[in-house]
């Protein structure tokens, strides 16, 4: 009987002790997390909120991650290097409110886990972006870039090249993989699916349409009419212009401009000397002056490119600048003023007929009237011509009629101060470069001549 009583007492003591332990632990878990509580893979059981938060901060900042491409490890880094900023305060507080401290015995058997930490593991955007940029740039140095299918030139025609699958990484895809992996991975972040991929394949309708357009342009008949000459642009030249860039049919501006420049070099007259059939000295060579024309290569290049891309045959006259352009291969024509410095004489022909001629006085040796094919670019009455004499003094000579022929101050004008004209008078009493003309004759010449009239001086 005594033995039975002692057993009952012992059992009672044990039950009281167990109950007491249960009560004590339950009170303990009012301030800590239940045993085997797992937050984002980290056991925080028995930890206070502050302790659990500190543990999670340390874990995610110091956790080591490795980028893997299939079975190949590429690069390792810590969460802190990638700019990880754990933010578990709200999750931990919510978890603390939801737990039942009296259920701790059950937790010893089954435990509990919270959701993954994708929303609680944030990053410093600047640090994270710089880390990804630097990592992807370094990895891609030894990797092949994927290439879209495109249109290429081949054997004088156009063809579609196949797309190429490379193994270089797409920065945005790698960024997404790492961002997700920082919160949910076991330390290994797979990036095999983060390759760049071609976005255009060889069966693309847009590429087929581009080939068709390129071929159509290649077969255009382009003709230039230049100063009476018909110039057909060779197919090979058109081929050299054509490009396919950024998904569009285009023209190589430099090549087009080079062609226009070659036409200008061949046909423009502004910088070329002329063979001129003079009145007294037969055919003479006259250097270039202010008279002549050239192709405006900049504006003509733009105009030609726009026309070519229309894909139709066309004929055009180039945009020119200067004077003397014609459509019948003429240059000086049969209306002009001729100044023969050797014979000190001037003639004015209109439509091939002599209108007037006169002796003149040209520039004194050392201040010679410059030879060249010029033109009357202005007319003015009652002008005052100013300049510097041989001794350095200034002069101001009023004239009744003034027709400048170049841009340095040389022109044709009356010279009432000259007592005689022609012969060798110019050698001692020549002008400062202008063509001195008898006043009465100058009045007639001024009335007869239009601006733009060529002036041939030799």
CATH number of the domain encompassing residue 392: 2.40.440.10
Which pair of structure tokens corresponds to residue 448? 């007869």
**DSSP letter, residue 332:** S
Residues 341 and 404 in one domain: yes
**Which residues are catalytically annotated?**
413, 434
Q: Judge whether 122 lies within some domain.
A: no
Number of domains in the chain: 2
Query: What pLDDT, on the 0 to 100 scale, is given for residue 12?
Result: 60
| Domain final position from 272, 296, 322 | 322
Tell me whether residue 44 is in a domain: no
Residue 313 included in any domain: yes
Task: Give domain status of residue 182, yes or no.
Answer: no
Query: Does 351 share its domain with 305?
Result: no
DSSP 45-61: TT--HHHHHHHHHHHHH
CA distances from 359 to 143, 181, 457 (A): 84, 99, 14
Q: In the numeric block, which tokens belong to residue 345?
A: 């004489």
Domain check: are 288 and 348 in the same one? no
C-beta separation of 34 from 103 below 8 A: yes
In a domain, 108, yes or no: no
Which structural domain range is residue 241 located in? 205-322
Reported in sequence order, the residue ranges of 179-291 that DSSP labels E, i.e. its strands, are 188-190, 222-226, 229-232, 242-245, 248-251, 274-277, 283-286
pTM score? 0.70
**Token pair listed for 209:** 């349409």
Here the tokens at position 373 are 């094919």
In a domain? residue 389: yes
CATH number of the domain to which 311 belongs? 3.10.20.800
36: Cβ contacts below 8 Å, ≥ 6 apart: 43, 45, 107, 108, 110, 111, 112
Supply the pLDDT for residue 23: 74
Per-residue pLDDT of the chain (458 residues; tens, 9 = 90+): 566 676 766 666 566 656 656 576 657 778 887 888 888 778 888 888 888 788 888 888 888 999 999 999 999 999 899 998 887 888 878 888 888 877 767 777 776 666 556 667 788 999 999 999 999 999 999 999 999 999 999 999 999 999 999 999 999 999 999 998 887 767 899 999 999 999 999 999 999 999 999 999 999 999 999 998 999 999 999 999 999 999 999 999 999 999 999 999 999 999 999 999 999 999 999 999 999 999 999 999 999 999 999 999 999 999 999 998 988 888 899 999 999 999 999 999 999 999 999 999 999 999 999 999 999 999 999 999 988 777 778 889 999 999 999 999 999 999 999 999 999 999 999 999 999 999 999 999 999 999 999 999 99
The predicted pLDDT at position 229 comes to: 93
């Amino acid at each position: 009987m005594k033995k039975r009583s002692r057993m009952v007492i012992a059992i009672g003591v044990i039950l009281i002790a167990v109950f007491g332990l249960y009560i004590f632990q339950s009170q303990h878990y009012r301030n800590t997390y239940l045993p085997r509580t797992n937050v984002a893979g980290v056991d925080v059981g028995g930890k206070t909120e502050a302790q659990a938060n500190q543990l999670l901060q340390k874990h995610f900042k110091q956790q080591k991650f490795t980028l893997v491409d299939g079975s190949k490890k590429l690069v390792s880094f810590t969460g802190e290097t990638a700019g990880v900023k754990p933010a578990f305060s709200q999750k931990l507080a919510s978890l603390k409110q939801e737990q039942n401290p009296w259920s701790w015995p059950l937790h010893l058997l089954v435990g509990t886990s919270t959701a993954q930490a994708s929303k609680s593991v944030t990053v410093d955007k600047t640090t994270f972006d710089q880390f990804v940029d630097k990592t992807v740039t370094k990895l891609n140095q030894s990797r092949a870039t994927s290439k879209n299918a495109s249109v290429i030139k081949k054997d004088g025609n156009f063809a579609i090249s196949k797309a190429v699958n490379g193994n270089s990484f797409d920065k945005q895809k790698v960024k997404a993989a790492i961002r997700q992996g920082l919160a949910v991975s076991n330390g290994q972040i797979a990036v095999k699916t983060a390759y760049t991929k071609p976005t255009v394949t060889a069966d693309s309708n847009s590429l087929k349409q581009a080939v068709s357009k390129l071929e159509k342009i290649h077969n255009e008949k382009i003709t230039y009419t230049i100063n009476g000459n018909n110039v057909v642009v060779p197919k090979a030249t058109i081929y050299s212009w054509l490009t396919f860039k950024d998904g569009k049919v285009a023209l190589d501006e430099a090549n087009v401009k080079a062609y226009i420049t070659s036409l200008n070099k061949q046909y423009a007259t502004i910088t070329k000397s002329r063979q001129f059939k003079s009145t007294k000295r037969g055919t003479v060579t006259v250097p270039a002056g202010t008279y002549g024309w050239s192709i405006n290569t900049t504006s003509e290049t733009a105009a030609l490119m726009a026309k070519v891309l229309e894909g139709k045959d066309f004929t055009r006259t180039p945009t020119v600048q200067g004077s003397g352009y014609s459509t019948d291969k003429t240059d000086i024509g049969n209306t002009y003023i001729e100044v023969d410095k050797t014979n000190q004489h001037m003639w004015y022909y209109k439509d091939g007929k002599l209108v007037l001629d006169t002796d003149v006085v040209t520039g004194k040796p050392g201040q010679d009237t410059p030879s060249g094919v010029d033109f009357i670019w202005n007319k003015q009455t009652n002008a005052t011509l100013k300049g510097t004499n041989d001794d350095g003094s200034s002069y101001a000579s009023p004239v009744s009629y003034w027709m400048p022929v170049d841009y340095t101050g040389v022109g044709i004008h009356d010279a009432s101060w000259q007592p005689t004209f022609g012969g060798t008078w110019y050698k001692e009493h020549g002008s400062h470069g202008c063509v001195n003309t008898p006043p009465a004759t100058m009045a007639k010449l001024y009335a007869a001549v239009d601006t733009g009239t060529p002036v041939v001086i030799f």
